[in-house]
Amino acid sequence: MRKFYLIIQLLIAVVFIQTAQAQDSWLKVEAGTEFSVALKSDSTLWSWGRNSNGQLGLGNTVNRMVPFQIGVDSDWKQVSAGAAHTLAVKNDGTLWAWGSNGVGQLGIGNLTQKTLPNQVGNESNWKEVHAGQGHSIGIKEDSTIWAWGFNTYGQLGIGNTINQSSPVQIGNLHDWLTASCGGGHTLALKADSTLWAFGYNGTGPLGDSTTIQSNVPIQIGPSHQWTSISAGFEFSLARKADGTIWSWGFNANGQLGIGNTTTSLYPVQIGVNNNWALIEAGSSFGFAINTNGELFGWGFNANGQLGIGTTNDEYYPIQEVGLGTNWNYISGAAGAVNAGSVFGTHSLSLQGSNFSICATGSNYVGQLGDNTTTQSNFFNCSTGDLNVGLVEMDKSDFFTAMPNPSNGLFTINTETLNSSRHLCNVLDATGKEVYRNSFNTEIFQIDLQDLSSGVYIIILENEALSVKKRVVIE
């Protein structure tokens, strides 16, 4: 009976804590290939979906069907999700990376996969970072542009096709504004609103009217009116200052949004409207939000990633239905194509005054974050609001770690969790994993005596829950 009441108290506390967490609004969501990451208003980072390469940053390779917090830090500023790696910048300007690293896309100087955030170099002047299928681009505060990772097509823009495991500067100019990484090509904007591109060009994603790839930045047309860019898989989207949007590149699924499936080697305008505010290129599909807050999608839709209620491809922008006119942000998985199959077919958005996360598309590894593996053809706006996996345990009795403080030898009692199988991780104050072990008993001991004195976070995970507690080593 005592255990029954403790379990009831646990469930009530979890609901209370998760509801409190949901009050923090989401600032940004990023759809990677079969996984998702999100930044909250309290500057914490969260992730869910596929984790086979550690791209969720949770210290393991376990897939998650609901959002889990990445470490304990609350000083994140910007995040970007690639095919199987994640990049993020902190408020102090430091750059961090985790996940797949087989071609150096983490930028940490080696090819070792990382399941926890690892700092890239020791510099603290990064402004923003962008993750592609296998390469990465960063902009520093001095407006220089840097690249690393996969470079077979010259998508790093550094004048060769050699992969790089550490950031390398592209040219020596200090006038770069932003960038976007696609599957094998890169787009970049300069401060003078000119558009530049480099990398793969076999289907025209560089937009220079040729199919010749370039390993250095080349300007796309003479216009000085470009304001935003988004690189998809072998196609590109861009917006001009007059509110028009343009596309070019591969178009087999209508991803150019021009009403047909004809590939274009140069920018063509999508429709005639001039009230577009935001654009987003997914793997083989596109989105745009207009100044009225209305969301439109087009292109590949076999998994319902357009959120329009069907799985039919759309060759021209079609408006999302049923969720009003207050869309704030949209992200479609840039993904990849392998043996003719497209991977990365889900979409995330922010909607409403409370910036709720909405998700649609494929969901077989939980990338929609709704605690199911069921595909959705409509945007479901419950993702991330109540289904939060990581709960704060500072003042709880959900498990005990005794004595606390201690010399590093802790006895863990998990009887109230009603489970005898746990993965135990310990993080230091920076979020770095310093201990990992698994246990098959309700009471076990962990030895942290080799660690320095300070504050640490013990995280226990089982099939149903992940909980944490702060402890002190004297």
- Within 10 angstroms of residue 63's Cβ, the number of other Cβ atoms is 18
The helix (H) or strand (E) run that includes residue 17 is helix 2-22
- Specify the pLDDT at position 159: 98
**Confidence band (pLDDT; 50, 70, 90) for 342?**
low
pLDDT digits (tens, 9 = 90+) for 420-449: 677 888 988 667 889 999 888 888 899 999
Of the listed ranges 192-196, 340-344, 413-417, the least confidently predicted one is 340-344
Of the listed ranges 12-16, 164-168, 270-274, the least confidently predicted one is 12-16
- Specify the pLDDT at position 467: 75
**Confidence band (pLDDT; 50, 70, 90) for 349?**
very high
Give me the residues paired with residue 459 across strands: 425, 468
- Specify the pLDDT at position 380: 87
Residue 11 pLDDT exceeds 70: no
- Specify the pLDDT at position 394: 36
Q: How far apart are CA 170 and CA 156, in angstroms?
A: 8
Of residues 339 and 473, the one with the higher pLDDT is 473
Of the listed ranges 59-68, 135-144, 177-186, the least confidently predicted one is 59-68
Q: Give me the mean pLDDT over the 469-474 stretch.
A: 81
pLDDT digits (tens, 9 = 90+) for 228-254: 999 999 999 999 999 999 999 999 999
Of residues 338 and 81, the one with the higher pLDDT is 81
- The fraction of the chain above a pLDDT of 70, given in percent, is 86
Q: Tell me how far CA of residue 371 lies from CA of 65, 374, 383, in angstroms.
A: 5, 9, 8
Of the listed ranges 30-44, 93-107, 427-441, the least confidently predicted one is 427-441
Of residues 183 and 150, the one with the higher pLDDT is 150
Q: Which amino acid is at 16?
A: F
Q: How far apart are CA 462 and CA 290, in angstroms?
A: 44
- Specify the pLDDT at position 333: 81
Closest by alpha carbon to 125, among 80, 87, 90?
90
Residue 282 pLDDT exceeds 70: yes
Of residues 238 and 454, the one with the higher pLDDT is 238
**Confidence band (pLDDT; 50, 70, 90) for 13?**
very low
Q: How far apart are CA 444 and CA 206, in angstroms?
A: 58
Q: Give me the mean pLDDT over the 404-413 stretch.
A: 86
Q: Which residues of 295-333 are buried (b: 16+ CB within 10 A; e: fewer)?
A: bbbbbbbbbbbbbbeeeebbbebbebeebeeebbbbbbb
User: How many angstroms from the chain centroid is the CA of residue 305?
Assistant: 16
Cβ contacts of 10 within 8 Å, gap of 6 or more: 398, 416, 417
Give me the residues paired with residue 402 across strands: 411
**Confidence band (pLDDT; 50, 70, 90) for 31?**
very high
Q: Give me the mean pLDDT over the 286-303 stretch.
A: 94
3-class SS shares of the chain: helix, strand, coil, % to 5: 5, 45, 50
Closest by alpha carbon to 283, among 272, 263, 299, 294?
299
Residue 297 pLDDT exceeds 80: yes
Q: How far apart are CA 95 and CA 139, in angstroms?
A: 11
| Tokens describing residue 371 | 């605690």
- Specify the pLDDT at position 7: 39
Q: Give me the mean pLDDT over the 44-51 stretch.
A: 94
Q: Which CATH number fits domain 392-473: 2.60.40.60, 1.10.150.120, 3.40.50.300, 2.60.40.3080?
A: 2.60.40.3080
Q: How far apart are CA 123 and CA 360, in angstroms?
A: 37
- Specify the pLDDT at position 225: 95
Residue 4 pLDDT exceeds 70: no
Sheet with 45-49: strands ordered across: 26-31, 35-40, 45-49, 64-69
CATH node for 24-380: 2.130.10.30
- Sorted by where each begins, the domain ranges of the chain are 24-380, 392-473
- Specify the pLDDT at position 406: 86
Judged on CB neighbours under 10 Å (0-12, 13-18, 19+), 453 is exposed
- Specify the pLDDT at position 337: 55
Mean pLDDT of the chain: 87
Residue 23 pLDDT exceeds 80: no
Residue 118 pLDDT exceeds 50: yes
Q: How far apart are CA 14 and CA 23, in angstroms?
A: 14
Q: Tell me how far CA of residue 79 lies from CA of 76, 91, 110, 381, in angstroms.
A: 8, 12, 21, 21
Q: Is 3 left (phi over 0), alpha (psi -120 to 50) or beta?
A: alpha
- Specify the pLDDT at position 209: 98
Sheet with 95-99: strands ordered across: 76-81, 85-90, 95-99, 114-119
